[in-house]
């Protein structure tokens, strides 16, 4: 019975250590994103997924009253975005803009219109297929 309690305690300790490490990682990611915004650079994300894209458009549709569609624009192929601090290596990835379109197909880019820009290291398979050889995906 005594060794069973040690295992339970160890398991709980392992769980707590894992939770603390996860929180540290999230805090680091948040700090990086906030620093990117402060430096005028898009936040870097490891992977942009189709679910992330659809979620953005669903969550923000109400704030874009004139919107009839959403769009994701990929600026060319992999891009390099210089870091703000001297001596740092540029970040590479896909510069991606997510925004809404009006009934004439024009981007809604006013200050109050919801939009996001990221430097994405990669896309999930579903979003990569949606892009194909194109640089834009339209969501109706």
The full set of domain ranges for the chain reads: 1-38, 42-139
Residue 34 pLDDT more than 50? no
pLDDT on residue 60: 96
Angstrom CA distances, 107 to 68, 70, 71, 103, stand at 10, 9, 8, 10
Residue 33 has pLDDT above 50, yes or no: no
What does the alpha-carbon distance between residue 89 and residue 47 come to, in Å, rounded to a whole number? 20
Query: Is pLDDT above 60 for 87?
Result: no
Strands, E assignment, the chain: 44-48, 69-74, 79-81, 91-101, 107-108, 116-123, 136-139
Tell whether the model's pLDDT for residue 68 goes beyond 80. yes
Residue 26 in this model has a pLDDT that exceeds 60: no
pLDDT at 67 exceeding the cut of 80: yes
Mean pLDDT, all residues of the chain: 80
What is the pLDDT at residue 92? 77
Q: What is the pLDDT of residue 79?
A: 54
Please, which pLDDT band fits residue 56 given cuts at 50, 70 and 90? very high
Residue among 59, 45, 57, 140 nearest 95 (CA): 45
């Amino acid at each position: 019975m005594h060794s069973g309690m040690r295992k339970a305690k160890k398991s709980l300790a392992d769980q707590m250590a894992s939770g603390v490490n996860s929180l540290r990682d999230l805090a680091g990611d948040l700090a990086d994103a906030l620093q990117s915004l402060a430096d005028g650079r898009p936040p870097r994300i490891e992977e942009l997924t189709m679910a992330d894209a659809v979620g953005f458009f669903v969550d923000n549709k109400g704030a874009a009253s004139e919107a009839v569609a959403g769009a994701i624009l990929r600026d060319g192929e992999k891009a390099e975005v210089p870091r703000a601090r001297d001596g740092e290596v540029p970040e590479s990835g896909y510069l991606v803009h997510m925004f809404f379109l009006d009934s004439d197909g024009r981007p809604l880019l006013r200050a109050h219109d919801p939009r996001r820009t990221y430097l994405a290291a990669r896309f999930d398979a579903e979003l990569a297929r949606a892009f194909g050889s194109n640089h834009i995906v339209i969501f109706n």
